[in-house]
Chain A
Amino acid sequence: MIDLLDIISPQSSAYLPWILALLILPIFSFATTGFMKGKAPYWSSAIIASNLLVAAYLATVFWNEPLTIRGNWFKLGENQFTYSFYLDKLALTMSLIVNFVALLVHIFSTEYMRTDANKPRYFAYLGLFTFSMMGIVLFNDLLFIFIFWELVGVSSYLLIGFWFQKKSASLAANKAFILNRIGDLGFITGLMILFTQFHSLDLDAVKSLMIMSEIEDGNWVVNFMQGGKEVISSMDGRWLSAGGIALFCGAVGKSAQFPLQVWLPDAMEGPTPVSALIHAATMVAAGVYMLARIFVLLDAQALEVVAIVGAVTAFMAAIAALSQFDIKKVLAYSTISQLGYMVLAMGVGAYSAGLFHLITHAFFKAGLFLSAGIIIHQLHHLEKGGKKFDPQDMRVMGGLRRKLPVTFFAFVICSLALAGLPGFSGFLSKDAILLDLAVWADIKGGGFYIPEVLAFMTVVLTAFYTFRMIYLVFFGEFRLPKILGDASLPNKLKEGNLWVTVPAVIFALLSFTFPFGFTLNADHSWVMEALKTPMYLVPESYAATSLLDVPEETFHGLHKTVNIVSILLALAGLFIAWLSYKPGAKLEKTFIERREPVGVLGQISFYHWYQNSLYQNIFLKAILAKSRALAWFDQYVLDEAVNLLAKLNVVIAHVTRWFDQVFVDGLVNLTAASVGKVGQLTRSIQSGNIQAQILVTFIFLLTLILLLVV
């Protein structure tokens, strides 16, 4: 029998310093950048650049043979807690992406934040973020993943709330953190379940023991040795599914899945480069990354939940993106929607496809955000000295392609990738997902076609809102001068400098297919090769049908159909967008004047299915009301009740006093009344009457005698 302690025995490697460097460099940046004042951007960029180099070096060394490093952290009772790093292709890829995007964002921010007084703080936060993100990526231990998971949450909180003097920013930061926390409850519950069953949270240990676990009489049983002692863990089999779903909850929070996705649009209050880094490329993808890490531990039921949540999220967010005015909001909803795709992919078992989409999305969405950032940044310059306006509002834009040509280029390339048109990276990865989804739906049948339908509808919607955005921003005429009544404005608008354009263009270039293989078939991409879908490890009776078990032919059969359908749908979306929002189209005109979309669908879309209102007005209010009620209860009922005991004391004291002395007078009065001498009544209401006292004494004596003797 396997001994748990053998599985998690320490493994050392000469490369440990390198791996640690990946963590230490960013945290070093966090610790020192704050003191750098004006040089902060360069300093932190240099650090991140060197970190990228380290990551690249490690990638070259360990690409083909994964490295495990493990050491003891602490011992709790008999349970050894370890830290472990696992550098496989996934981790290496992620660390490259994170560092790469981070570096570009650093560079971009150098210009974007140039005038901000607090920029050292900003770059320090970026360092903290990179550190936390690297932690998630590198560690192979669920506990550590969770720890960095939360730290990522904090850095996101700090960055969203970076402009904390804006109340909306600070509230958005709160919202992001709290909703993430709700997801984390699930995560921590998952940790509890796994720990209870396997006595360790090291992924190697969990996986090894998961293979050995069995379902017996509906109980999930696993038998192993721990330090020479035999352990039999057993719990209701349903906890297995629950564990998967619970862990997935963490991803729901972090990756902004339904029903916790409402924080992401609000998070756009943060500086735009942050949105690019955190809320598009990396952090929100961490949920998907985590799902990939625990992929093999999910059982059929959990996977179904994952798939459904993913599909619903993708669709809902796509709808919401249709009618937004704020360019960043559109991008935010689009991010949610794309994350939905990834999660859906994980749910249907399309591990490689999901991760592929994660990678491609990281680039094209970062590109989109950075381009949007350039627009916002440049428009923001116009604000100086002039009237205030919202530089993120698409209603003030229009026709910018002439003023900002490079940005336009980057934006469109990335948009095409987002819309999933052939030749762009998005096409490859989305196609792979749709294909696997189709196969999955075929296997499952019945209601499981719904996710498929939703996913395909989302394709249309994606294309639509993407091009709607392009039309509104870059085509037509520049609307701002009209709104502000200042005709000189167009001349003032300039293209961003190299600090900002270069990163955007780099991302745009990475949104083409070629970095991932010169092919239109995802299967031929090196990414799909590298990140092979693993087998499920859960007990057989609980395991889902793995796509690996599906014969190749099924895929081939569907491949073409899916390809064509998705391209057609995307084109359809493009076409509708062109119809509605081409310069001079009816919708385009009304769009500018509206304060908010009209019609039921418009409203639902604009308000994102009213989910936010539901939370704010019903759940949150209910909780706050309840907490106030409880506080009231605590202060006025519970406290009073306990004080009442004290008061009761006083009352008893009164009663006893009454008994001891007034009672006497009572008797006296009674006597007086009984002989009709009412006049004595008042006089005898006095204490200290000795005869009455004697009398009462004798009453007591007599009573006692009667009680005890007779």
Chain B
Amino acid sequence: MVGAAMQMADGLKEQLQSLTEGVAFLWPEITLVVGLLLVLLFDLIFQNKKEVGIAAISISVLSFLLVAQCLSFVPNLEAKDLFVGLITVSSGANLFKIGFTLTALFALIMAAQSKKYAQQYFSSSEWLVSLFGLLLGAFLMTASSNLLMIYVSIEVVSISSYLLTGLGKGLKKSEAALKYLLYGAAASAVMLYGMSWLYGLTGSLDINTDTFIVGMNAAQPFTLNIAIFMVLAGVLFKLGAFPLHIWSPDVYESAPMPTVTVFSIVPKLAAVFVLFRLISSTETTDFNWQQWLGILAIGGMTIGNFSALWQRNAKRMLAYSSIAHAAFMLSGVLLFNRAGIEVTVFYAFIYLIMNLAAFYLIQVFENATGSVNFDSFRGLGKTMPYTAILLLVVMISLTGLPPVAGFNAKLFLFSAVYEGYVSTGDQIILWVFIFGLLNTVVSLFYYIRIPYLLFFKTGDQIITKQEGFRWHMAWGTFLVLPLFLLFFRSDWFVDLLNSINFVF
């Protein structure tokens, strides 16, 4: 009895040691929490004129985080299971985290520049707290290697998202938040239910353990399929992919620009990472990922692109476009070989930059005209030429044409898909390839609308011609420049990806 207790105590000691060891790896998350608390405290302590302080704190925390992450980034990190397998730290995850931090930072910048709402974002802490919460959740999503942790982190992201949507005044916002929440809650309930089955099938929540994998392999295909598919549904919800994409246009339309920017990037990419995790531990099972994801990708591209054609509102259009892009990423994910992973990550990062730039620039126009309806873009090419050109470049990139990185992303992606078809001969991959290319053509129709309106149409509204330097030009350039750079030297980034060992 005593021996057992001793043993247990020893075990506990070891455990505690490993926990403290693990804490060291969690410094980004801890920084976030600290930042969150700082903002909160600042909000509580000071009464008036808190904006500057809150903004300063949040921006400096994020900047610090970004710099620190970049500096400490090691490409070929050994994947480490921490917290008794709850999370796994890997270079890939770290890379994604850098992307998330960057996005969040930019969202802050956008918030600060927003004409309409700048006050609102920083006047009290909720928005930032939710944002930090979302970021934290996303960080954890990339690290989770346990069903429990996956669920918890996804919920953190979700709830933060609901809050972000619902915060602030406005009828549309609360409506969207409610819908988002109900939809999301239903989706996560489905996922949870699926997880409970997976647990039942394997007896383990840790998806990296042998028990889990053995259990999965032993499971009856029918049940397994349904269970995994239910879990997949939750991830697809975060990814905003077909068929769980329906919420996104409404939410995008009603949420403020910085929030949407975060929504369109962070949860999506985190979900991609979770998907990688799920696939890697269920690859050997009867669940035919190629088939499932193939169909989802085809459906997503088609619905996303074609619905986008219909839109008259830049944000809604970008919502559908992001559905389509999610589908493109899925088509990279479904290959699940080294190449597939790399091209997906490449695509994801290009997507990140493109979307940041797109939303940023659209906000610039929104600031000028007060609307994101297509009609308001008419003739702005004349009054704000530089910004319009930047937006044009981004649209080209989103379409996937040279000489911007969107082209490389699509090129590599399709190459990988093509190669995937050649090496496996799987018919569904071929269809994904074909649909992907067709959809690229389709996508042009709506992406080109914005430049078309900007340059070819004349607007009714009188906006004085902007000449000379504006800060937003610098930021826009800062965002667009990488698109060119990564087109001309995509090897820089791909080499980096090459050196990363993607372990999930």
Chain A residues engaging chain B, CB cutoff 8 angstroms: 646, 649-650, 652-657, 659-660, 688, 690-691, 693-694, 696-697, 700-701, 704-705, 707-709
Q: Out of B226, B246, B306, name the residue touching A696 (CB < 8 Å).
A: B246
Q: Separation in Å of the A695 CB from the closest CB of chain B?
A: 10
Q: Separation in Å of the A205 CB from the closest CB of chain B?
A: 52
State whether B246 touches A697 (Cβ < 8 A): yes
Closest A residue to B187 by CB, please name it.
A697
State whether A653 touches B307 (Cβ < 8 A): yes
A646 to B222, CA, bound (A): 43
State whether B225 touches A708 (Cβ < 8 A): yes
A700 to B300, CA, bound (A): 12
Name the 3 nearest CB pairs between A and B, nearest first: A700-B243, A656-B306, A653-B309
B250 proximal to A (CB < 8 A): yes
Q: Out of B226, B243, B307, name the residue touching A656 (CB < 8 Å).
A: B307
Q: Separation in Å of the A144 CB from the closest CB of chain B?
A: 49
- Known: A649-B445, A708-B225, A708-B292. Contact between A694 and B183, CB under 8 A? yes
- Known: A690-B183, A701-B233. Contact between A657 and B246, CB under 8 A? no
- Known: A690-B179, A690-B183, A696-B246. Contact between A656 and B295, CB under 8 A? no
Interface size on B, residues (CB 8 A): 31
A-B pairs with beta carbons under 8 Å apart, 16 shown: A649-B306, A649-B309, A656-B307, A690-B182, A693-B179, A693-B247, A696-B243, A696-B246, A700-B242, A707-B295, A708-B288, A708-B291, A708-B292, A709-B222, A709-B225, A709-B226
State whether A654 touches B310 (Cβ < 8 A): yes
- Chain A neighbourhood of B307, CB < 8 A: 653, 656-657, 660
B158 proximal to A (CB < 8 A): no
- Known: A656-B303, A660-B303, A709-B225. Contact between A701 and B292, CB under 8 A? no
Closest B residue to A689 by CB, please name it.
B179
State whether A697 touches B244 (Cβ < 8 A): yes
Cβ contacts B461-504/A at 8 Å (1 or 0 each): 00000000000000000000000000000000000000000000
Task: List 16 extra interface pairs beyond A653-B310, A690-B178, A693-B179, CB under 8 A.
Answer: A649-B442, A654-B310, A688-B179, A690-B182, A694-B186, A696-B243, A696-B246, A697-B183, A697-B187, A697-B243, A700-B242, A701-B233, A704-B296, A705-B225, A708-B288, A709-B222
State whether B186 touches A705 (Cβ < 8 A): no
Closest A residue to B442 by CB, please name it.
A649
Closest B residue to A690 by CB, please name it.
B179
Q: Separation in Å of the A704 CB from the closest CB of chain B?
A: 7
A652 to B442, CA, bound (A): 10
- Chain A neighbourhood of B302, CB < 8 A: 656
B229 proximal to A (CB < 8 A): yes
Q: Separation in Å of the B246 CB from the closest CB of chain A?
A: 4
A646 to B295, CA, bound (A): 25
Q: Separation in Å of the A70 CB from the closest CB of chain B?
A: 53
- Chain B neighbourhood of A709, CB < 8 A: 221-222, 225-226, 229
- Chain A neighbourhood of B226, CB < 8 A: 705, 709
A709 to B230, CA, bound (A): 13
A273 to B310, CA, bound (A): 73
* Cβ < 8 Å to A, chain B residues 170-229: 178-179, 182-183, 186-187, 221-222, 225-226, 229
- Chain A neighbourhood of B182, CB < 8 A: 690-691, 694
State whether A701 touches B186 (Cβ < 8 A): no
- Chain B neighbourhood of A688, CB < 8 A: 179, 250
- Chain A neighbourhood of B309, CB < 8 A: 649-650, 653
* Cβ < 8 Å to A, chain B residues 384-421: none
* Cβ < 8 Å to A, chain B residues 288-314: 288, 291-292, 295-296, 302-303, 306-307, 309-310
State whether A701 touches B183 (Cβ < 8 A): no
State whether A701 touches B291 (Cβ < 8 A): no
- Known: A697-B244, A708-B291. Contact between A657 and B310, CB under 8 A? yes
Closest B residue to A700 by CB, please name it.
B243
- Chain A neighbourhood of B247, CB < 8 A: 690, 693
A693 to B244, CA, bound (A): 9
Q: Separation in Å of the B316 CB from the closest CB of chain A?
A: 11
A709 to B309, CA, bound (A): 33
- Chain A neighbourhood of B179, CB < 8 A: 688, 690, 693
A386 to B309, CA, bound (A): 76
Q: Separation in Å of the A665 CB from the closest CB of chain B?
A: 13
- Chain B neighbourhood of A650, CB < 8 A: 309
A413 to B242, CA, bound (A): 99
Q: Separation in Å of the A652 CB from the closest CB of chain B?
A: 5
- Chain B neighbourhood of A693, CB < 8 A: 179, 183, 246-247
A700 to B241, CA, bound (A): 12
Q: Separation in Å of the B11 CB from the closest CB of chain A?
A: 43
A701 to B183, CA, bound (A): 14
Cβ contacts B272-297/A at 8 Å (1 or 0 each): 00000000000000001001100110
Q: Separation in Å of the B171 CB from the closest CB of chain A?
A: 13
A688 to B307, CA, bound (A): 14
Q: Separation in Å of the B208 CB from the closest CB of chain A?
A: 26
- Chain B neighbourhood of A697, CB < 8 A: 183, 187, 243-244, 246
- Chain A neighbourhood of B246, CB < 8 A: 660, 693, 696-697
A709 to B222, CA, bound (A): 7
State whether B288 touches A652 (Cβ < 8 A): no
Considering residues B222, B307, B442, which has the most beta carbons from chain A within 10 angstroms of its beta carbon?
Answer: B307
- Chain A neighbourhood of B303, CB < 8 A: 656, 659-660
Q: Separation in Å of the B433 CB from the closest CB of chain A?
A: 19
- Chain B neighbourhood of A704, CB < 8 A: 229, 243, 292, 295-296
Closest A residue to B246 by CB, please name it.
A693
- Chain B neighbourhood of A700, CB < 8 A: 242-243
Q: Separation in Å of the A489 CB from the closest CB of chain B?
A: 71
Q: Separation in Å of the A663 CB from the closest CB of chain B?
A: 11
Q: Separation in Å of the A622 CB from the closest CB of chain B?
A: 41
Q: Separation in Å of the A702 CB from the closest CB of chain B?
A: 10
* Cβ < 8 Å to A, chain B residues 133-189: 178-179, 182-183, 186-187
- Chain A neighbourhood of B250, CB < 8 A: 688
Q: Separation in Å of the B144 CB from the closest CB of chain A?
A: 23
Q: Separation in Å of the B21 CB from the closest CB of chain A?
A: 42
State whether A653 touches B306 (Cβ < 8 A): yes
Closest B residue to A696 by CB, please name it.
B246
Q: Separation in Å of the B449 CB from the closest CB of chain A?
A: 12
- Chain B neighbourhood of A708, CB < 8 A: 225, 288, 291-292, 295
- Chain B neighbourhood of A694, CB < 8 A: 182-183, 186
A660 to B320, CA, bound (A): 11
Closest A residue to B446 by CB, please name it.
A653
A477 to B43, CA, bound (A): 126
A694 to B226, CA, bound (A): 18
Closest B residue to A707 by CB, please name it.
B295
A657 to B186, CA, bound (A): 23
A484 to B253, CA, bound (A): 91
- Chain A neighbourhood of B306, CB < 8 A: 649, 652-653, 655-657
Closest A residue to B253 by CB, please name it.
A688
A122 to B222, CA, bound (A): 96
A162 to B288, CA, bound (A): 83
Considering residues A650, A655, A659, A660, which has the most beta carbons from chain B within 10 angstroms of its beta carbon?
Answer: A660
Q: Separation in Å of the B44 CB from the closest CB of chain A?
A: 35
- Chain B neighbourhood of A653, CB < 8 A: 306-307, 309-310
Closest A residue to B323 by CB, please name it.
A660
- Chain A neighbourhood of B445, CB < 8 A: 646, 649
- Chain A neighbourhood of B291, CB < 8 A: 708
A707 to B288, CA, bound (A): 13
Closest B residue to A655 by CB, please name it.
B306
Q: Separation in Å of the B215 CB from the closest CB of chain A?
A: 19
Q: Separation in Å of the B239 CB from the closest CB of chain A?
A: 14
- Chain B neighbourhood of A691, CB < 8 A: 182
- Chain B neighbourhood of A705, CB < 8 A: 225-226, 229
A625 to B307, CA, bound (A): 44
- Chain B neighbourhood of A649, CB < 8 A: 306, 309, 442, 445
Considering residues B226, B296, B306, B307, which has the most beta carbons from chain A within 10 angstroms of its beta carbon?
Answer: B306
- Chain A neighbourhood of B242, CB < 8 A: 700
